[in-house]
């Protein structure tokens, strides 16, 4: 497979495993997993004829490690970013003292009023890395970097989760924990 094919399949997997499994005639279990063999069969029927090795290539080459295949290779899921209601079954974890969120300047007034909301996804996505956060913000316009006082939130009992691919997740960030970075 060439890079373009890998990217196209990866995009389709994001769609199916995070947002719209019906697009590949699949259902996800409560933790977001689906059957690898059904996925391969249904991919072939819809648009991409690939085998398990090629699926692994897509998963391994993904720039943000968005997908996980179970150790027995029977199941696959997206590591984060879902809009459908699933429970990743992650254990709450103490976050680093400071986390970053990149957004677009046009959202800042609303964020200052309402805090960071998960929107269509299940969680607010936060990063330890400034460049990653800025790249995330860039997707929506002129980026701005926000700093989240994760330590204070944690001390007040707010739960954080670390996804398999290193994204920090929480349900909501109140405005009083947000400042300009
Ligand atoms: C903004 C990508 C107005 C929020 C990335 C963001 C990430 C508000 C947008 C992952 C708001 C939601 C998620 C408020 C938040 N008022 N706007 N109160 N609260 N927002 O795409 O964090 O490439 O759902 O700042 O790498 O941008 O798909 O979230 O701009 O990890 O794997 O509303 O998506 O990963 O947008 O990105 P999103 P996000 P993938």
* Confidence bin at 45 (pLDDT 50/70/90): confident
Give whole-number Cα distances, 152 to 40, 114, 118, in Å: 45, 18, 19
CB 136 near ligand 1, within 6 Å: yes
CB 23 near ligand 1, within 6 Å: no
CB 11 near ligand 1, within 6 Å: no
C-alpha span between 85 and 132 (Å, rounded) = 25
By most ligand atoms within 8 Å of CB, the mutation choice from 17, 81, 142 for ligand 1 is: 81
Question: Which structural domains are found in the chain, ordered by start?
Answer: 3-78 (1.10.10.970), 98-180 (3.20.170.30)
DSSP 72-96: TSSEEEESS---S-----PPP-PPP
Indicate whether this complex's ipTM tops 0.90.
Answer: yes
CB 127 near ligand 1, within 6 Å: no
DSSP, res 92: P
Say if residue 46's pLDDT is above 80: no
C-alpha span between 173 and 4 (Å, rounded) = 37
Helices (H), 22-124: 36-46, 52-61, 108-114
Q: What is the mean pLDDT of residues 95-100?
A: 98
User: For the chain, what percent of residues have pLDDT higher than 90?
Assistant: 96
pLDDT: is 140 or 46 the higher one?
Answer: 140
Residue 46 C-alpha from the chain's centroid: 24
Please, what sign has the CA dihedral across residues 167, 171, 174, 175?
Answer: positive
């Amino acid at each position: 497979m060439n890079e373009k094919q890998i990217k196209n399949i990866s995009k389709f997997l994001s769609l199916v495993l995070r947002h719209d499994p019906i697009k590949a005639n699949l259902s996800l279990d409560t933790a977001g997993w689906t059957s690898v063999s059904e996925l391969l069969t249904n991919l072939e029927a819809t648009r991409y004829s690939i085998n398990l090795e090629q699926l692994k290539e897509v998963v391994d080459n993904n720039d943000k490690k968005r997908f996980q295949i179970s150790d027995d290779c029977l199941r696959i899921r997206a590591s984060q970013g879902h809009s459908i209601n699933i429970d990743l079954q992650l254990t709450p974890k103490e976050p680093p003292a400071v986390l970053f969120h990149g957004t677009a300047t046009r959202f800042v007034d609303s964020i200052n009023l309402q805090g960071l909301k998960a929107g269509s996804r299940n969680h607010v996505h936060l990063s330890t890395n400034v460049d990653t956060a800025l790249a995330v913000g860039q997707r929506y316009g002129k980026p701005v970097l926000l700093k989240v006082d994760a330590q204070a939130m944690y001390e007040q009992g707010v739960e954080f989760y670390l996804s398999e691919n290193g994204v920090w997740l929480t349900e909501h960030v109140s405005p009083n924990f947000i400042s300009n970075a």
